[in-house]
Structure formats: structure tokens, C-alpha cells
Amino acid sequence: MSWSILKKVYVSACSFFFVFVIMYGTTTYTAAISAIPEAFGVSQRVAVLGFTVPFFGVFFAPIYTPHLSERHGRRPIYFTSFPLFCLCVIVIGLATNISTLLAFRFLAGLFGGPCVVLIEGTFADVWPANKTVTYYSFLTLASYLGAAAGPIIGGFVFAAKGPAWLSWVTLIFATAALAFGSFMPETYSREILRTRIRYTKSGIRLPCAQSEPLVIVISLYLGLNFAVVFQWFISVPAALGATYGFGVRQSGLAFVSAIVGVILALLTSSLIEALLSSRAKRNMEDIEKRLVPAMFGAFLVAGSLFWVAFTATPSIHYLAPISGTAVYVWGNAMVLISFISYLFDAYPPAGTLSALTTAACFRLVCAGIVPVFILDMLTNLGGAWTFSLFGIISGVMTPFPFVLYWFGPHWRSKSRYGARWTAIPEVHTME
């Protein structure tokens, strides 16, 4: 795209800000989760469900958003979905019963989800393909920063102003994002749509990638990782409160570790990309090199879970388990950046959408289910065994990036997306 660097940065910053606010609004709820049972007369599990229902709303976004954006462009989707998200935030702040709270938390995810999905397409529109890992690092940073900022800021807001102000602060951020993004131009080239229409009219059918071995392996691994990532938002305050007597503000500050972890992931993933790019040009044989960050990240993920499991005790300083969560986020983000970049390169335009949709939907379901049961696991198994169980499962999956590296070329050669699919051109630029 022949835009100036400042224009590209502005567009990227707009989409970054939208995603930050949506993820912030999703996780800031955890600051008030201990007060929900008494305020609405519900169980602790129902209170936790209020945290997870937005993920089930976002679940639908990868299914319908790409098709809508290809038909109408990126900008109309952003400026339809984000204001609707803001309306949901207002209703959540005014909610007087649990049904309203749960329903509009779900709708906030449903309406905010397209912005979370569109950041991928927006970054791909404005940045060259050889920067795939770099821009995926930054869009991952948007999600993780927003998610981590939720309990950090929310802890202080809840302690000072009460639960309703969690929504009002989210709305303040959302208003700032809308104002900042009001001059955001369209980034999507209509030529991509016209090209795909020509191929659709030619009788070529574009098969789905859900049953592809690559997609199955990646979806399983990312599903587990996302389940563990978002259970931290429930288990960390519970564990720190029970073990070290942390209050809501102290527990929120513990999520600074997630920010440290994702920044480390951004730096290491970008460094690995730069080192690999300097050695070889990007081609079909090089695609598996996208998996190198995941190879490192897989060990960090499994090791950090055992780290947390055996350090979250009163006899060990609280910085030890908190540091373990930073290492987990570091590894998790490296795996996510690596796998999604790999899916982008492993499939032609005909299959990329299907592959990314499958992986995204599965990990969102896992992120929505596991946190609901994490408190029961902590109560019945204890923290050491709960996190050790996650560590064992992650350890079993640690070879997955290596399996993809070794068998990926063979699986792709046998894929339904063969040469005739890669022949479908994709236009990346818009004048």
C-alpha cells in the first residue's frame, strides 16, 4: 500500500485502540467479581459466568465479520460494531439484575468481536507480507495489554467508586477511541472482492479447512493456551487473596506481569523473524520457519505452569508465582503469534479465512468454559495440583510445534489446497 508511514501507523493505532478497549471492558469485570454474589443474590459460579459470557459473544465474530468486511469494507464494520459495544457498556453499568448483566455482557462481546477480528485484516491491508510476525506481535499486544489493564485499573476504580464505575471508565476509554479513530480511512481494496467474485463465478469451489491436520493441531494447542490464559483472571486474585491476603487493588497490580510477558513475546518474536529473514527469502519451503517462536514458547508455557504450581505458598515470596504468570504469557503469546502467522502463510487466500476462523472459534470456546470451573478445581484439588494438571497437559502438547515443523510440508502437499488454490491471486494493495 502506497500510504505514508504516518498514515499506516495512524490506521494501525486506531484498530489497536479499539481492541484495547474491548479487551479492557471484558476483564475489568473481574475487579468486582467478589461483590457480584451479594449484589445480585447469585452463586460465585454465576458471577464467574459474567466474566466468560463475552467470549461466547465474540465466538461468532470470526464467522461473519470477514464476509461483511469483504462486502462493505473495514471502516463501516468498525463504526457500527464499536458504538453498539459502547451502548452495551452503558446498560451493563446501569444493570440492576443478573439477567441484564449477563445478557449485555454477551452482547458486548457479540458487537465488540468484529473489531477484535478486523485488526488482523487492517494490519494485513497496510503492512507488507514480510512483516507478518511483526504486525501480529503488535495486534497480540493490543489484546493482552487491554486484558491486563482491566484488573489493574479496575481494582483501583472498584475500591474507590464501586462496580458501576468499572463500566463508566470503560466508556471513557471507548469515547476516546471513537474520537481518535474518527478520521480512520478505509483500508480494504475492493479489487480483492472483485477477484474472488470472478473465481466464484468460474465454478471453482473453495473448500473449508476445518479438517486439515494443521488446523486441528493448532486449534487444539491454542484452545488449551487460551483456556489457561483467561483462567488466570479468576485464579490469580483467588490464589493471591487466599495465600498472601491480597486485596482487589494488589491482585489487580499482579497483572502487570502479563504486560511484561507480552512485551517480551513481541521483542523475541520480532527478533527471531528478523534473524530468519536475514538468512533466507520467504517462500514455500520457508513457511515452517514461522514455527520457531512457538518452539521456544511451548517450553515456557509448560515450565511456567509448574513454576506457579509449586511457588504459590505462604513460605515463598509472592513475586515468585507472579513472575511465573509473566513467563506463561511470554510463552503463550509467542505460540499465538507464531501459529497464526504460520496459518496465514500455509494456506492461500482460499483457505486462510476458514483456517483462521476454525482456530479462533475453538480457542474462544475454551476461554469461555474453563474459567467457570477453575474455582472448583482450586477448592477440590488445591493450587499445586490444579496448575500441575495444566502443566502436564501443556507438556504433552509441547512437541506440537516440532511436529508441525517436521510434518507440515508433507501435510500441505496432501492438502485440498494444492497448486490450483494457490493460483488464486490476492491483492494486497490499495491505491
pLDDT tens column, 185-218: 888 765 344 444 444 444 444 445 445 778 888 8
pLDDT at 175 over 50: yes
The answer to whether domain 5-422 has CATH 3.40.50.620 is: no
Separation of alpha carbons 176 and 180, rounded Å = 6
Distances (CA, A) of 140 to 63, 91, 113, 127, 153: 20, 28, 15, 16, 20
pLDDT at 349 over 90: no
First to last CA, the chain: 7
**Mean pLDDT on 281-302:** 81
Contact 257/326 with Cβ under 8 angstroms?
A: yes
Domain locations along the chain: 5-422
Q: What per-residue confidence (pLDDT) applies to 205?
A: 44
pLDDT one-digit tens code per residue, 74-83:
899 999 999 9
Task: Give the best-scoring range by mean pLDDT among 98-107, 222-231, 343-352.
Answer: 98-107
Q: What per-residue confidence (pLDDT) applies to 281?
A: 54
Q: What per-residue confidence (pLDDT) applies to 307?
A: 96
Separation of alpha carbons 138 and 12, rounded Å = 9
Question: Which pLDDT band holds residue 132 (cuts at 50, 70, 90)?
Answer: low
pLDDT, averaged across the chain:
84
pLDDT one-digit tens code per residue, 141-154:
888 999 999 999 99
Nearest to 87 by CA among 100, 106, 104: 104
At how many degrees (to 10) do helices 61-72 and 98-126 cross?
50
Q: What per-residue confidence (pLDDT) applies to 427?
A: 40
In SS3 terms, 295-361 reads as HHHHHHHHHHHHHHHHHCCCCCCCHHHHHHHHHHHHHHHHHHHHHHHHHHHHCCHHHHHHHHHHHHH
Question: Which pLDDT band holds residue 354 (cuts at 50, 70, 90)?
Answer: low
Cell 463508566 sits on residue: 168
pLDDT at 391 over 90: yes
**Mean pLDDT on 301-307:** 95
Percent of the chain scoring above 70 in pLDDT: 85
Separation of alpha carbons 128 and 135, rounded Å = 9
Q: Which grid cell is 69? A: 468486511
